[in-house]
Structure 1
């Protein structure tokens, strides 16, 4: 599971009512999300199709994960933390490079995970995830209901999922694994609407410290990217057919 902490603190804010600015901001956010998804999908495909690349992350004889493969599965969290805590210190160009590198490394780790499932089920789950994500993104953008209180609850559930997942690494409970997956789907469905509404408000004129609008759009793209891939992974655990 990819760790997602979408509750960035946008303090010292100024509200400017500007619908056009909000739309342009969200367009940039979704652009970065699609770029990251494209990079991840492309890298995952390359590592699945090329046996030479595949052997770097998975031993062709034993099918065990190599040290580089294990690093690729663990390191995405480091990229996210660097971007989160380096937001005001790093330049926009450096943040963009880190984001693209993060998406590429995530694609490598995806190639390991997706090899477990049939191509048809992966495609079916991806399409399902896209439809669900799109519906909830539209709902978050158009709803007049303040989702802030729901966001706090969802984040508490997210922390619970992380803790339960760590525990299940030791007890290997199939039932708990399925329960985590169903709750995970519900959490990231809700977080998608919550994050889009929050980003809409940011685009209407919220400023975060000294960060530029470009940086905030990039971080917003990271947030929605994490929402999507986590929704996809949880749905895959429920509906994916193993080879």
Structure 2
């Protein structure tokens, strides 16, 4: 008897279940960030805190620790701890976004979110279904991301709206490439490691990575939609 069709069906079903979990966790993380940002925008204490450089540094530091701790898949890690890490990160990101409803119009926020959702979905589907190896794109995008971070840090002192606007397009292209590559990479990781590690941990790690891709696409689109100098009021 030929068992290959049954093996293929089993792997396909497992992969579909993995992606369902991963996108479910990611969607919940995005919802937590949005809700936290919306509630925080009505709280003057939160707004003042997020305007304090020391508070911002503290939030960034905690986020870096969370990303580092979730960046590797460990077979013995508790899925509950991984989930708490993801949702804590999303909540902190929401605090950072608490001023977004004050700075930007609801129309700009909605337009950027919808555009980011559509763009992310298309790129995720491409990354999942394409047979082309996207690792080269991933390496180039990561190298470009380092350069973008350096330019962004320099622009913190220059405060040039034009540089910020131009590099929003660059950042958008970078995270478009990363979204497709990350999706393909996570698919391959499941096929290679799905039987060796806790699938929920792998899905949570993937959810964090794709969450970061989506959030950055949204931020860059928001900057692009508001134009040079930020037509936000």
TM over 0.5: yes
Tell me what 2:205 maps to: 219
1:144 aligned counterpart, secondary structure: coil
Shift of 1:170: 1.5
Describe the shift of the 1:23–1:161 C-alpha distance in structure 2 as closer, same or farther (beyond 3 A).
Answer: same
Tell me what 1:41 maps to: 34
Describe the shift of the 1:155–1:64 C-alpha distance in structure 2 as closer, same or farther (beyond 3 A).
Answer: closer
Q: Which structure: greater helix fraction?
A: 2
Gap regions ≥5 residues in structure 1: 1-15
CA contact (8 A) 1:30 1:221 kept: yes
Q: 1:236 is matched with which residue: 212, 216, 222? A: 222
Shift of 1:74: 5.5
Cα distance in 2 between the residues matched to 1:120 and 1:93: 37
1:219 aligned counterpart, secondary structure: helix
CA contact (8 A) 1:57 1:70 kept: no
34-43 or 73-82, larger mean C-alpha shift: 73-82
Matched, 1:175 2:162: yes
Cα distance in 2 between the residues matched to 1:64 and 1:227: 23
Gap regions ≥5 residues in structure 2: 1-6
Shift of 1:200: 1.8
Describe the shift of the 1:141–1:222 C-alpha distance in structure 2 as closer, same or farther (beyond 3 A).
Answer: same
Shift of 1:81: 2.1
2:232 aligned counterpart, secondary structure: coil
Cα distance in 2 between the residues matched to 1:37 and 1:230: 12
The runs of at least 4 consecutive aligned structure 1 residues that moved more than 3 Å come to 66-75, 85-90, 208-211
Describe the shift of the 1:242–1:150 C-alpha distance in structure 2 as closer, same or farther (beyond 3 A).
Answer: same
Structure number with greater CO (CA < 8 Å, separation at least 6) is: 1
Describe the shift of the 1:64–1:90 C-alpha distance in structure 2 as closer, same or farther (beyond 3 A).
Answer: closer
Q: 1:32 is matched with which residue: 15, 25, 29? A: 25
1:111 aligned counterpart, secondary structure: coil
Q: CA-atom RMSD, angstroms?
A: 2.4
Matched, 1:207 2:193: yes
Shift of 1:230: 0.4
Tell me what 1:13 maps to: none
CA contact (8 A) 2:77 2:201 kept: no
Cα deviations by residue, 1:94-144 (Å, 9 ceiling, x for unpaired): 121111111111111111234210111101110011111111111111111
Q: Map of 1:90-129 to 2, 5 A cutoff?
A: 90-129=77-116
Cα distance in 2 between the residues matched to 1:175 and 1:74: 29
Shift of 1:68: 4.2
Q: How many residues align structurally?
A: 220
CA contact (8 A) 1:191 1:227 kept: yes
Describe the shift of the 1:88–1:47 C-alpha distance in structure 2 as closer, same or farther (beyond 3 A).
Answer: same
